[in-house]
Amino acid sequence: MTRHYNFCAGPAALPEAVLERAQDELLDYQGRGLSVMEMSHRSPEFVAIAERAEQDLRDLLSVPDDYRVLFLQGGATMQFAMVPYNLLGQGGTPNYLHTGIWAKKAIAEAEHLGGAHIAASSEANRLTAVPRPDDIDLSDDAAYLHYTANETIGGLAFDYVPKMASPQGGGLPIVCDMSSSILSGPIDVSDYGVIYAGAQKNIGPAGLTVVIVHEDLLGRGRSDMPGLFSYRALAEAGSMINTPPTYAWYLAGLVFQWLKEDVGGLAAMETINRRKADKLYAAIDGSDFYTNPIAPLNRSLMNIPFVLADDGLNQSFLDEAEAVGLLNLKGHRSVGGMRASLYNAVPEKAVDTLIDFMTDFERRRG
Ligand code: PMP
């Protein structure tokens, strides 16, 4: 068996130790004589798995007690709609920061539900830097401010949390799409009203979406929203209004245990992630052949797009990379070139091997 280095943007690499543990437990979960996949979600065994996963996630992110953690389906894309449904029951206009393709999709859903105000946009700098706090111009009736912590396609990341006072007084709920950066390092959950993330990057397999929501926001839903959309109803039902994605939830739990026990927590994870990303950016910046356009302050630790000086060499780069076990380096079709996603489960050795390959490719073909 050979496992290659996988730089996919998502579904992405999982820690090998997690896959091995899942393999060990696949047919017979801890002597129960059945697989986790085959268990009732209401069985004591699964409820224990679910509760342990939630507690481990709370420990990793130091989630305060007045936040609820939901384990849902529908992906981050479903949250693009669930956020406005859940937060606009008392009126007001949802405010958004536009920083790239994912922010734009979130904005489109809010517009579909009645309108959105773009409080700042990175379009003027061609999505190469995030808006600075002074650029953010909220509408007078702002109900919340939504932003995308890390634009997975552009490789553009916020270097700060855009906390804002509400124009009506008090704090403004900050809503963050953290799909491609959650668990890459410590955060202060109390900065946020809602955090959401599709699992298939740093959390686990596809099919699971994690939402962390402040209790004060649970009663603000629109009366016309579908029952399964309601954060309040989901929180009351322990994310089990209907059958949750049990196996993905279990695997996410194994990833949380790996982060706590093998890695040593999120500060340790961030140190490794920073080292991995710094090396790759240094290799790109040190070459005339590879380029990354993002402002240094906003360069993503997780997704690093780069282009080759000669587009005509893209396919050879990808073919040769694959031949030496470096998979999924093709950039998103809207950006072109390459993208290396360096999520938590991508080992440092993978980055070293990629850099060696890039140096060699440039020497031979550049
Ligand atoms: N937001 C971001 C930042 C993403 O990277 C993605 C997926 N790549 C999404 C939203 C959409 O996620 P999903 O496919 O889980 O709906």
Which domains, and CATH codes, for the chain? 17-261 (3.40.640.10), 265-365 (3.90.1150.10)
Among 71, 152, 181, 334, the mutation site with the greatest number of ligand 1 atoms within 8 A of its Cβ is 152
Which pair of structure tokens corresponds to residue 290?
């590879």
Q: What is residue 168's predicted lDDT score, i.e. its pLDDT?
A: 87
Cβ of 53 less than 6 Å from ligand 1: no
Round to whole Å and give the CA distance between 30 and 358.
44
pLDDT digits (tens, 9 = 90+) for 137-165: 999 999 999 999 999 999 999 999 999 98
DSSP summary character for residue 332: P
**Can you tell me the distance from the alpha carbon of 65 to that of 57, in angstroms, rounded to the nearest whole number?**
13
pLDDT score for 283: 98
User: What's the whole-number mean pLDDT along residues 125-131?
Assistant: 97
Q: Is position 258 annotated as part of the catalytic site?
A: no
173 lines ligand 1 (CB under 6 A): no
Q: Is residue 102 among the annotated active site residues? A: yes
342-365 pLDDT, tens per residue? 999 999 999 999 999 999 999 999
- Predicted TM-score (pTM) of the model is 0.98
- Residue located nearest, by CA, to atom 15 of ligand 1: 75
The burial of 211, by beta-carbon neighbours within 10 Å (0-12 exposed, 13-18 middle, 19 or more buried), is given as buried
Match 């920061």 to its residue by tokens: 97
Nearest residue to 58 via CA among 70, 72, 46, 76: 70
Q: Encoding tokens for residue 176?
A: 């963050």
User: pLDDT, tens digit, for every residue of 46-83?
Assistant: 999 999 999 999 999 999 999 999 999 999 999 999 99
ipTM of the prediction: 0.99
**Using CA positions, which residue lies closest to atom 9 of ligand 1?**
76
**181 CB less than 6 Å from ligand 1?**
no
> Beta strands 67-72 and 326-327: pairing type?
unpaired
